[in-house]
């Protein structure tokens, strides 16, 4: 099963403070373990919401709201995409995420939908389209 581990923003990340060398070192070692074990599929940090935008639909119309956004606890500072055997495995791995500064924070773990989860609405045509798009994405990424 695939899961997304969502790293919640903190006041420091929203202020644009860069991580310490110690955190980068420990996170690099952690990510290396995840990659070598075949768990990590992707992972990235995100710039603060002050550099972002939201597109909000209301009344059938799309509106753009420029950052920053007020509710820090609702924001995302980064993510991992992991391939795990179970939610329990994902939780155990998440409990090992480095936090050398001891700052308060959290991650959220959410299961990623697979094509099979959309049955019976997934018609043969939609399944073929999904497979074609995934193959195209893999080719673009050189996989």
* Strand ranges of the sheet holding 76-83, from the earlier edge strand across to the other edge: 40-45, 76-83, 2-8, 107-111
- Confirm or reject CATH 3.30.70.1060 for domain 2-112, answering yes or no: yes
pLDDT band at 143 (very low <50, low <70, confident <90, very high): low
pLDDT digits (tens, 9 = 90+) for 46-104: 999 999 999 999 999 999 999 998 876 789 999 999 999 999 999 999 999 999 888 88
> Which residues of the chain are in CATH 3.30.70.1060 domains?
2-112
């Amino acid at each position: 099963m695939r899961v997304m581990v969502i790293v919640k923003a903190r006041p420091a990340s929203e202020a644009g403070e860069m991580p310490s060398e110690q955190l980068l070192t420990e996170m690099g070692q952690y990510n290396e373990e995840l990659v070598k074990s075949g768990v990590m599929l992707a992972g990235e940090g995100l710039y603060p919401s002050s550099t972002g935008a939201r597109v909000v639909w209301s009344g059938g119309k799309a509106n753009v709201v420029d950052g920053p956004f007020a509710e820090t606890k609702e924001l995302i500072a980064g993510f991992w995409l992991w391939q795990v055997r179970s939610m329990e495995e994902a939780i155990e791995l998440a409990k090992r995420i480095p936090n050398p500064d001891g700052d308060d924070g959290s991650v959220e773990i959410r299961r990623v939908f697979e094509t099979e989860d959309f049955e019976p609405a997934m018609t043969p045509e939609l399944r073929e389209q999904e497979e074609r798009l995934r193959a195209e994405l893999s080719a673009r990424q050189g996989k």
